[in-house]
Each structure stands twice: as C-alpha cells, then as structure tokens.
Structure 1
Amino acid sequence: MGGRRLDGLRAAELHPVRRALGARARGPRRVAEGHARRGAGGRPGHGAVRADRAARRRAGAVRRVLRGRRDSRARHDRRRAGGGRLVPGHGLLEAGRAHRASPAPRPVRTTRPIVGLVTIGQSPRVDVVPEMAEVIGPGVEIREAGALDGLDRAQIRALAPQPGDEILVTRLADASSVFLGKRRIVARVQEKIGELEGAGATLTALLCTGAFGRLAATRPLVQPQPILLGVLRAMSWPGRLGILTPSAPHVPQTEARWRADGFDPVVVPLSPYEEDDPAAVARAADALRAARAGLVVLDCMGFRKKTRDELQAATGAPALVANLLVARVLAELCGV
C-alpha cells in the first residue's frame, strides 16, 4: 500500500470529521464497470452521477458535523454564562431549560406585632389569655384593656341589663362574674379599642362572642361572632348544633340569635365561671347528648380548653372553643 493511501487512513482516524463519516470517508470511490466518467463535452455516465451524489453526501455530512460542533460549543458557553448545570453522564444536557432567578428574600420584621385584647369586663383576663397566648405563639406582644377597668362596684351595677337588653356576662379582676346590658357598654368597648391602637397595637380583638355590629378601628379588628359564623357555614355535621351559653337567662336570646343566622340549635346553659364543677359539666353534656348534637360551640370567650376536652369525651362530638379559634386567626394575622 502506498504512502499516500496510508497517510489518508491515518488522517481519517485523527480528524473528527472523517471519523464521523466512518467507512465512507476511508473507502475508495468505485465506478461501476462499463460506465464511463464525464468525458470532454460528453454526457456523464451512470458511474459519474453516482460519484457526484456521493461527493455531495459527504460534503453535507461534513457541514452537519461542523455545524453541530459550533452549536454545541455555543450552548456550553451560554450555560456557563447563565449558571446552567450540566447533568453528569449526559454531556451538555442542561438540568433546567431556563435560568431561574433566586427568590427575593423575605422582608425582615423589625418590630414585634402587638395584639390588643379588649374584654367587656376587667383586665387582665388571667383565666383565658394565657391559653390564647400559647396558640398565638412567641414573638407577639399582648396588651389587654377592659371596658370595666377603673370602675367601682356602684358604677358596674349601673351597667346591669334592663328589660329588653341583650344580656352579657363577664369576669372582674377579683374573679367574680357580673351581668351587663350590651347597649350600655358598647361605647366603653369602642373607647378601649381606640386606647390600644393609640398605644401601638397593630391589631385588636374583642373578647366577647356577642354580636356588636361594626366597631370603628384604624387597624385590623377581629370579632369572634363573625368568625364562628364563617367557620360553621363552611362545615357540615350529623345531628343538631349544640350551643353552650353562659347562663339560663341567656338561653332565649342565644337560641333566637342562632336561628336568625340560619341554624337549628340546641342551647344548653353552663357558666364558664363554674367549669370546675364536675356536676355542672356533666348536666350540660347529658343535655347535648340527649339532643343528638353532632357539633358543639362554646359560645362565650370565658370557656376554656379543659371544658372542651371534657365535653368531647362525654358527648363524642367535636367542640369549638371561641377564644382558641380567635387566637388561631390572630396567629395567622401576626405571621407566626
């Protein structure tokens, strides 16, 4: 074999283009016997046509290989510039087609949220606020104000319910309970909301499940009764709706209010301030069970988690505690 032929084979092995063409690049071009090549001024024979076609195919293959190498190099450069990742074992396969920008950092809170809690009685409400604070979580400052703060017994008696008044019950600083007429304390509740907002509260909540209508506020204000209604309207349950109300005098007005809101309630009295009386809790549980209550609402902010757990165990029905439900909403609003 001549040196020219040997050099051609070595070039085919070393050059990437010829290596891509394989045997077609290395083999000699053959002309079918009996077919003449293009002669001077003559028409091409069949062998010449096939030779031309083979030459064009080889030229096209060369162009495709070179173009593929250029495109591959360009993609690699773009990936390096854009932070793309290469998947091991797959050459230049990119893990993500498009460069994804890093998410913007969350803003850092510079001050703690301040939650103002307004009771219709006297603050602090050491009976319910500690349980609410556990739900709201750390990092939130809680401030309390009471509609009866600073009032003596005579002034409080002047706020007692009169005929036709909606009855409310609340707790005083000495742990005793007192009945109030709702319309007689609305102005004082409104005043305490303003005081807490003026002292820096970022949001406030009312510690009473009575229907107070729209109260004025410059910051978010949470009222328990609309929250209870919203949750219940989003639910279904077997049996009737059991409502625990704070006293026997509350029963008629509580039943009328829940019926007006579209429910079929069985209303049972239990004072939140006699929750430590096992006999009273047992009587309430018996009445709810006899009425086949499928869900129980503790319709006073004074009820505690302890009573909920006892009622659930005695009736087999789930129960909602108003103050804990409000606390979960406050935690969400505070972002904790």
Structure 2
Amino acid sequence: MGRTYRLAFVTIGQSPRIDMVPEMLAEIGSAVEAREYGVLDDASDADIAALHPTDGEASFASRLRDGREAVLSKAGIEERLSGLLSEIDRHGHDAIVLLCTGTQVAPLANTLLIESQRIVDATVEALAASCPRLGVMVPLARQVAEFPARHVFAGAPTVVAASPYAGDAMAERAAALADRDLIVMHCMGYTEAMRREVRAAVAAPVLLSRRIVAGAVRQLL
C-alpha cells in the first residue's frame, strides 16, 4: 500500500477553499491527507475591511468562506501570511502549497514550500519563448496596471481583468485576447470550467494556474 502524503494548502483568503482544493486534489491523484489554512480564517469583517488596499497599493483578490470576493492589500496580507507559514512549518507536513500566484516568500526552516507564483511564472516564461504574444487574465481591474511590476515576462503581455469570484463572463472578457498566441489565467481562483469557457472563445492554448501547480505537486509525490 502506498504512502499517504500530508499536504497543507494555504489561501490568502479563508479556508476551506471548496472551490479549489478538491479540484486540485483530483489533479494530483496521489493519496493525500489535506489540511487547509487561511490567512483570514479568524478575521472579522472589520479586520477584512481594514485590509482593503489604498489607491496605488498592490492588491490581491481572494474568496471568503461564504463565497464573497475580498480585495486585499498585498502588503497587509503578506505580513499575516508570514506568521501563518511560520506556524504551519512546525506541524510536520510533507509540503505546504501556497494558493496565490501573486506573492513570493522566504523558504521555511522545516517544510518544502510550493510557491504558486514561481511555478506559474516559470512555466509561462518557458512557453512564451515560442508564443511571444502573451495574454493574461487577472481578477481585478486595478491589477491590470499592477501586473508589469509584479511579473516579468518578455515582450508586453496584454492583460485583462475577469474575476473568478464576482460572476464575470469569462468568454466575454477573453475576447480582448483573441489575437494572442498563449493565454494564462493568472489566479488560483480560476476553475477548469472557466478555462474551458475561455478556450472555446479563443484560438490560443489556455493555461490554468491551479492545474500548473497541481501538476508540479503531483511530480513531487
């Protein structure tokens, strides 16, 4: 009988991520004991409101436990995330999967940290070498302007906003990327169903961040 791996899944919003983790576990396929943690698990509505980014401040979008979208300060969330990761690092997991494609953190003392941003960006950069007209989908309109400062890809990617949490029409938003050679849905909140919707609307291949990360995890187990 094969080994069961202990994985921690960490969201910058609230756990459990019923919209994400089950889909990723199906993609991973191995015997996994999954534990979920959220940066905002114990946060009140007032706490979350206080984390809303100011004008010009880098931002994140995430999902709350009740399905609402939260727009969050990158700096404020990363401060909380650092403390949470340090705590989880003592729990004896085989690996920690960070469910955010917008942040990079320092290595942990005891546990392998799987950083979604590094995995997704490295994959996109490799594929974009032969697909120079890159299209990118992000959750928030404000992130369209933020993206070039946070992710370095060759050329000048075309970036459009479509929220996976607010009911935005994916195919409609993807129409602006119809001339691209490659499209990446650059948020872990986008689902496989959303990817299929976009893929049906454009000619280019469409990368889904959570599938890229789940594939990397699968290779490690």
Q: TM-score, normalised by structure 1?
A: 0.62
What residue number does 1:137 align with?
29
Is 1:210 the counterpart of 2:97 in the alignment? no
1:237, 1:293 → 2: CA distance? Answer: 12
String of CA shifts for 1:72-91, please: whole Å, max 9, x gaps.
xxxxxxxxxxxxxxxxxxxx
SS in 1 for 2:197: helix
- Report the Cα offset of residue 238 of structure 1: 4.1
Distance 1:209 1:217, change over 3 A: farther
What residue number does 2:194 align with?
307
| Aligned residue runs from structure 1 range 212-251, under 5 A | 212-235=104-127, 236-238=129-131, 240-251=133-144
2:154, 2:131 → 1: CA distance? Answer: 16
What residue number does 1:151 align with?
43
What residue number does 1:201 align with?
93
1:265, 1:244 → 2: CA distance? Answer: 10
Counterpart amino acid of residue 169 in structure 1: A
RMSD: 1.8
2:164 is matched with which residue: 269, 272, 275?
A: 272
Counterpart amino acid of residue 317 in structure 1: A
- Report the Cα offset of residue 160 of structure 1: 1.4
- Report the Cα offset of residue 322 of structure 1: 0.8
1:261, 1:314 → 2: CA distance? Answer: 24
Select the structure of larger CA radius of gyration: 1
What residue number does 1:254 align with?
147
Is 1:326 the counterpart of 2:213 in the alignment? yes
Once the two structures are overlaid, the 10-residue window that deviates more, 212-221 or 144-153, is 212-221
Distance 1:119 1:271, change over 3 A: same
2:70 is matched with which residue: 178, 181, 185?
A: 178
Q: In 2, are the aligned partners of 1:241 and 1:294 still within 8 Å (CA)?
A: yes
Aligned residues: 220
Q: In 2, are the aligned partners of 1:237 and 1:295 still within 8 Å (CA)?
A: no
Structure 1 segments (4+ residues) deviating >6 Å: none
Is 1:161 the counterpart of 2:53 in the alignment? yes
Task: Give the structure with the larger strand fraction.
Answer: 2
Q: In 2, are the aligned partners of 1:190 and 1:215 still within 8 Å (CA)?
A: no
SS in 2 for 1:316: coil
2:105, 2:31 → 1: CA distance? Answer: 31
Q: In 1, are the aligned partners of 2:104 and 2:118 still within 8 Å (CA)?
A: no
2:39, 2:97 → 1: CA distance? Answer: 13
Counterpart amino acid of residue 171 in structure 2: A
1:238, 1:193 → 2: CA distance? Answer: 36
Q: In 2, are the aligned partners of 1:186 and 1:212 still within 8 Å (CA)?
A: no
Structure 2, unaligned runs of 5 or more: none
SS in 2 for 1:273: coil
Structure 1, unaligned runs of 5 or more: 1-107
- Report the Cα offset of residue 309 of structure 1: 1.1
Once the two structures are overlaid, the 10-residue window that deviates more, 304-313 or 170-179, is 304-313
| Aligned residue runs from structure 1 range 35-50, under 5 A | none
Task: Give the structure with the larger helix fraction.
Answer: 1
Q: In 1, are the aligned partners of 2:52 and 2:71 still within 8 Å (CA)?
A: yes
1:177, 1:237 → 2: CA distance? Answer: 35
